[in-house]
Amino acid sequence: MKKKILTLAAVVTLPFILLVMYLLASMASYSNTYDEIVSNMTVANNYNLNFKEEMDESLYKLVVGYVTLDTIETDKSLKNPYTLIDELRSEFTRLTAITTESESKLWLESLLRNIDTLEKRVDDIVDSISAGGRYNENIEKLDNNIYILTELIQDDIQYYIYYQTRYMDKVTDTLQDQIRRFMVVCSVLIGVLIIVVAVSAVMIVSGIIQPISQLNQATEKIAQGDFNARAQADSEDEVAELAVSFNKMAGSMQSLIDKVKEDERKMRKADLRLLQEQIQPHFLYNTLDTIVWLIESNEPDEAVTMVVTLSDFFREILSKGKEFISIKEEEKHISSYLQIQEMRYRDILEYDIQLDQVIYKYQILKLTLQPVVENALYHGIKYKRAKGCIHIHGEKEGDIIRLTVRDDGVGMDEEELEQLRQQIEKPCQETEKGFGLANVNERIHMYFGPEYGMKIQSQKGKGTTVEIVIPAILEAPVEKTGNDTAKVAEGGNSVNFDANKKIKSNPKQQNANKIIEGGRPQQEETGV
């Protein structure tokens, strides 16, 4: 495109530049010729005014004996005749060499011959004066030779000036003719240039706009979902390069879209698997067994409490199919999960949830904390064979939210910790263990970026700390439809409970745990 624009500019400007250069050259030539003529005429005119008078006076005073050749230059009003002749010959010899006008040159040649004759006549007078006693003869030579020759020389100079003046007029006429021709040629050239520039501009602009138009059409097709559209550009310019890049981009977009769809399918599959992992048959069977034994042990309140808690747990897991929930909802979910587990593992489990209420309104990926808490319970607290505690903490730090799950369970040594760190950085489908943690970490990376995610610290015998960092993004407002309720039929009567009710431990729960421990054997569960 740059070459095309430069070509158009050259087509427009080059002829005018040539014309201007021609005009400037003509003007410079005229100026030089004019200055030369003026300079020559000035020299000639100076001698025309002074030479005859100075020569005649100097020779007359030599003849009458007023001065001699030796003393003539002492008189400031007189000049040596030979000096005058030499100066005149020198100047007009130079003018002859530089004069080109033929008539002027003829009169200069005549002038130089007369100067030679005058020099001879001056020699005769000087010789006669040297011989002495020839006053009348010398006066006659002045009248008949010197005065006539100086007058002829003066006439030659005047004719030279006359013809130089005519030559100056001729040069001026020539310049005016050149200017007139220049104006005519310039007018014709402007007309031709207008046509040439118009045609060239149409061709060049068309060569620029047409590929851009084709590229625009291809872009519109791409925007409409036709990823087979390609831009055609035969010009060898930036637009052609852009078209090539566009075609490469269009060619890769379909594969990228397919890859995104595949990644989304995998993520949906992973989410489904994670959901299935949370609704484990063992967990559900054991919880239902606990409820049955509570009822058989005549502990209906504890059984109802556990049913409501289980209902809350599954309600939060499903979350109406939403990918994101509020941190407050996530807290409800993890609270329900821990309440159920606390009723089952009363003798070994304590927990503490401390989430800053400031972060309640921010969103979090569903099932972010539950797999981490489950891992802490089954791989930390349970193997401790003594009472342990799970601490859950969360706060906002600038533009991020930091969530921490810490347990005082058995912990891990350096080798085990490093293996787990490597596992959670893999795609969750490729993990051999720690699927739940890898799933959480992968989803955080996918939705928020690689700068967010999970970090694990652990010490053998002291416990494990899992830190989750996510961006602080406010939850989109949703329309509330009222409180959810759960109904449990007991003795033909229905009892309503608020789904968001906080459940606290009570002495009867301890009895329920004793029943569980002393009743049917519970099925073994494994962490995520």
Model pLDDT, residue 515: 35
Cα 199 from Cα 203, distance rounded (Å):
6
- Which of residues 269 and 445 earns the better pLDDT score? 445
Which amino acid, residue 252? S
Residue 521: pLDDT above 60?
Answer: no
Facing residues of 392 across strands? 353, 405
Model pLDDT, residue 317: 62
Residue 150: pLDDT above 80?
Answer: yes
What percent of the chain lies above the pLDDT cut of 70?
80
Residue 244: pLDDT above 80?
Answer: no
Cα 514 from Cα 293, distance rounded (Å):
10
Express each pLDDT in 179-205 by its tens digit: 787 778 778 877 887 887 777 777 777
**pLDDT bracket for residue 514 (50, 70, 90):** very low
User: For residue 491, how many other CB atoms are within 10 A of its CB?
Assistant: 7
Q: Retrieve residue 31's tokens.
A: 């100026």
Residue 520: pLDDT above 50?
Answer: no
Q: Retrieve residue 338's tokens.
A: 């821990």
Q: Topology of 30-167 in CATH?
A: de novo design (two linked rop proteins) (1.20.1440)
Cβ within 8 Å of residue 512, ≥6 positions away: 290, 293, 294, 297, 299, 302, 306, 343
Model pLDDT, residue 247: 78
Residue 223: pLDDT above 70?
Answer: yes
Model pLDDT, residue 268: 62
Q: Retrieve residue 134's tokens.
A: 């020839």
Model pLDDT, residue 477: 65
Model pLDDT, residue 236: 66
Cα 415 from Cα 435, distance rounded (Å):
18
The closest alpha carbon to 91, from 150, 149, 31, 51, belongs to: 51
Distance of CA 122 to CAs 105, 150, 151, 497, 500, Å?
Answer: 26, 11, 15, 152, 144
Cβ within 8 Å of residue 75, ≥6 positions away: 61, 67
Residue 306: pLDDT above 70?
Answer: yes
Q: The domain 279-477+486-518 is classified under which CATH number: 1.10.240.10, 3.30.565.10, 3.40.190.80, 3.40.50.300? A: 3.30.565.10
Question: Which alpha helices (DSSP H) does 279-389 contain, by range?
Answer: 281-296, 300-318, 327-344, 370-376
- Which of residues 249 and 499 earns the better pLDDT score? 249
Which amino acid, residue 155? D
Express each pLDDT in 15-26 by its tens digit: 777 777 877 777
Model pLDDT, residue 472: 95
- Which of residues 349 and 313 earns the better pLDDT score? 349
The closest alpha carbon to 371, from 321, 464, 429, 441, belongs to: 441
Taking a C-beta distance cutoff of 8 angstroms, is the pair 364, 327 a contact?
A: yes
The closest alpha carbon to 104, from 28, 162, 48, belongs to: 162
How is the chain split into domains, by residue range? 30-167, 279-477+486-518
Please report which helix (H) or strand (E) contains residue 495, including its range.
strand 493-498
Which of 72-86, 122-136, 308-322 has the weakest average pLDDT?
A: 308-322
Q: Retrieve residue 4's tokens.
A: 């095309």
Residue 356: pLDDT above 80?
Answer: yes
Task: List the beta strands (DSSP E) in 429-471.
Answer: 453-459, 463-471
Express each pLDDT in 401-437 by its tens digit: 999 999 999 999 999 999 999 888 887 666 666 677 8
Residue 450: pLDDT above 60?
Answer: yes
**Long-range contacts, 380-386 (Cβ 8 Å, 24+):** 380/407, 380/408, 380/409, 380/410, 380/411, 380/463, 380/464, 381/345, 381/348, 381/349, 381/407, 381/408, 381/409, 382/345, 382/348, 382/409, 383/409, 383/410, 384/348, 384/408, 384/409, 384/410, 385/348, 386/348
Model pLDDT, residue 62: 83
Q: Retrieve residue 331's tokens.
A: 């807290």
Cα 334 from Cα 392, distance rounded (Å):
10
Model pLDDT, residue 457: 95
Express each pLDDT in 91-107 by its tens digit: 889 888 888 888 888 99
The rounded mean pLDDT for the chain is 77
Cα 254 from Cα 382, distance rounded (Å):
50
Model pLDDT, residue 228: 73
Residue 486: pLDDT above 60?
Answer: no
Model pLDDT, residue 456: 95
Model pLDDT, residue 271: 59
